[in-house]
Amino acid sequence: MEKPGNEVPLKSELGYYYPESWECLDGPHPRIKRIIRCPEKLLRFCRRNKDEDAEKVPAEALTDVEREKMLTLRLAAEAVRLKKEFTELEDFGVRVPRRDFLIGKNEAGEKAILTVIDRVRGKNLEKADAAENGKKLSAKGEELCLSLINYLTSKTRDRQPYLWDVFHYKQYVYGQTEKDEENHIYMVDVEPLYWEYNNVTCDYACVNISLWHLTALVNLLELKTGQKLKKIKEWLP
DSSP the chain: -PPPSEEEEEE-SSS----SEEEEEEEEETTEEEETTEEEEEEEPPPP-HHHHHHHS-STT--HHHHHHHHHHHHHHHHHHHHHHHHHHHHTT-----EEEEEEE-TTS-EEEEEEEE--EEEEGGG---SS-HHHHHHHHHHHHHHHHHHHHHHHHTT---BTTTTSGGGEEEEE-TT-SS-EEEE----S---B--TTTTTHHHHHHHHHHHHHHHHHHHHHH----HHHHHH--
pLDDT in tens, the chain (237 residues): 343 444 555 555 444 444 555 566 666 666 677 777 778 888 777 655 555 555 555 556 577 788 778 888 888 888 888 888 899 999 999 999 998 888 877 777 778 888 888 999 999 999 988 876 788 999 999 999 999 999 999 988 888 888 888 999 999 999 999 999 999 999 998 865 555 666 555 667 788 888 999 999 999 999 999 999 988 878 876
